[in-house]
Structure 1
Amino acid sequence: MFQECDKAFDKKNVEYFINLLQQDESISVRTRAVCILADIGNEAVIPVLSEILKNDKTSLVRHEAAFTLGQLGYVESVPALIDAMLSDSNNVVRHESAVALGSIGDQSARNALIDATNDNDTLVVHSAFSSLLNLDHLQLNLKIKSQRN
């Protein structure tokens, strides 16, 4: 299987890794597939990763899906990340979703991040505050740039 994965990675065969995510039972294989999609994926993988974030039975795989969505940085990921941040049963998934929202930097996540500051887990609260600070920083930079022009 590892040789197949290497070949698929070299060919940037996104479909191969999507199929692994959707069909393989192994936690390590699904986690690896998500991580690889961070390297070779594009906007087309957002629906698949969003579905994995919402429905995978393993918190590690959901965590990696949140991380990957943040790394890819597409605004289309924001609704799935908000949902996971506010409702996932695992605190590490909620934390990573908050971090990913800060990385993407879309202001539409602001109210949800404010809501997450009331989470019962300190890690999630800190991540939400950090992401809010990032949104403030991005907004301030936009104001400064617009005033210069």
Structure 2
Amino acid sequence: MEPGTVTEAELQKVGKILLNSNASLAERFRALFTLMSINGPDAVNIICETFKDPSELLKHELAFCLGQMQDLTALPKLGEVLEDTNEAIIVRHEAGEAIGALGQMDSLPLLNKYLDHESKVLRQTCELAVMRIKHVNSEKSGPDSPFTSVDPAPAFNQNKTCKELADILLDSERTLFDRYRAMFSLRNLSTPESIDALVKGLDCDDSALFRHEVAYVLGQMADTHAVEGLSQKLRDMSDDPMVRHEAAEALGAVDDPRCKEILAKHLTDTDLMVKQSCEIALDMNESETEHQFQYADTLQKIRNS
């Protein structure tokens, strides 16, 4: 969506919904993704302003969207969030990943400060961000992807078999960057065999960051073949909430009647982030199962009102 097709009044109305802490989280997420599709500095400013909200889930998603929007005006705010020791690790992690997504060499000194951080999630996030920035600035490019996301690591250029990619994905002795590259290569293959390999990745590693990214990738694929693996991960109360929350959101992206039932069972989950993720995922799932034109529909609703 081009910024020029949206009036300033419409943009502010969408922003008002995002900033409204009394609105449902589902409404605010739809507004957020509407702003992401509108893009431009004004949309970025509204998203940045929303970081004052107490919801960790929402703030984590704000950072994700800023990385995807590829607007460098977001960098100062993302750096501020990354360095905020009062902020939740999952929010700081997403800010670090977004900085990596923006790909600026000038960001390396900030990211390097966290390569020995006590939080493994934050440490690994910044390590991946550093590797991605160096990679994209080395004039190397990955293969064309059927997905439109800005990924934390590029797929491999070489033609590797599904088994070769699965072996890399599941090998804890390989660098995390290579394992992520295998992950996105398996996503791009989009076969039952590649999904099976990714589902194994949900349990294969002691890195919550790694497992959460596998769940995210399976959500992008939105294939019914992954439903059972994702539902098992959502039910696993022993796993990190950042993994379970991502499994919930991945289930919300799949057009399968089983997902609604699975997610509904966790609307009273003891972890707030998981509970809220299931609320959002059910809203997303409704969009999928009713074949709505798009999830980010706040602007259209405003125009129809």
Please indicate the TM-score interval, normalised by the length of the shorter structure.
0.7 to 0.9
CA 1:137–1:24 in 2, change beyond 3 Å: closer, same or farther? Answer: closer
CA 1:126–1:44 in 2, change beyond 3 Å: closer, same or farther? Answer: same
TM-superposed deviation, 1:50: 1.0
Q: TM-score, normalised by structure 1?
A: 0.78
Secondary structure, counterpart of 2:202 in structure 1: helix
Structure 2 equivalent of residue 107 of structure 1? 257
Which structure's residues are more often helix, by fraction?
A: 1
Question: Rg: which structure is higher?
Answer: 2
Query: In the aligned structure 2, how far is the partner of 1:57 from the partner of 1:90?
Result: 10
Question: Identity of counterpart residues, as a percentage?
Answer: 26
Moved more, 61-70 or 116-125: 116-125
Query: In the aligned structure 1, how far is the partner of 2:166 from the partner of 2:183?
Result: 8
| Cα deviation code 1:72-105 (max 9, x no counterpart) | 2210100110111121511111111011101112
CA RMSD of aligned residues (A): 2.7
Q: Aligned ranges for residues 8-87 of structure 1 at < 5 Å?
A: 9-11=157-159, 13-25=161-173, 26-87=175-236
Moved more, 18-27 or 60-69: 18-27
Q: Which has the higher contact order (CA 8 A, sep 6+)?
A: 1
Moved more, 109-118 or 23-32: 23-32
Moved more, 26-35 or 57-66: 26-35
Structure 2 equivalent of residue 133 of structure 1? 283
Contact 2:219 2:251 survives alignment (8 Å):
yes
Amino acid at match of 2:234: M
Q: TM-score, normalised by structure 2?
A: 0.41
Moved more, 72-81 or 130-139: 130-139
Amino acid at match of 1:75: T
Contact 2:186 2:195 survives alignment (8 Å):
no
Contact 2:172 2:205 survives alignment (8 Å):
no
Structure 1 equivalent of residue 269 of structure 2? 119
Query: In the aligned structure 2, how far is the partner of 1:100 from the partner of 1:28?
Result: 22
Query: In the aligned structure 1, how far is the partner of 2:234 from the partner of 2:185?
Result: 23
Structure 2 equivalent of residue 93 of structure 1? 243
| Cα deviation code 1:7-44 (max 9, x no counterpart) | 95342543332121123423333233213322334222
Amino acid at match of 2:162: V
Unaligned runs of 5+ in 1: 143-149
Amino acid at match of 1:29: D
Contact 2:198 2:214 survives alignment (8 Å):
yes
Unaligned runs of 5+ in 2: 1-134, 144-154, 293-305
Contact 1:34 1:61 survives alignment (8 Å):
no
Contact 1:110 1:132 survives alignment (8 Å):
yes
Contact 1:27 1:58 survives alignment (8 Å):
no
Instruction: State how many pairs are aligned.
Output: 140
Contact 2:219 2:250 survives alignment (8 Å):
yes
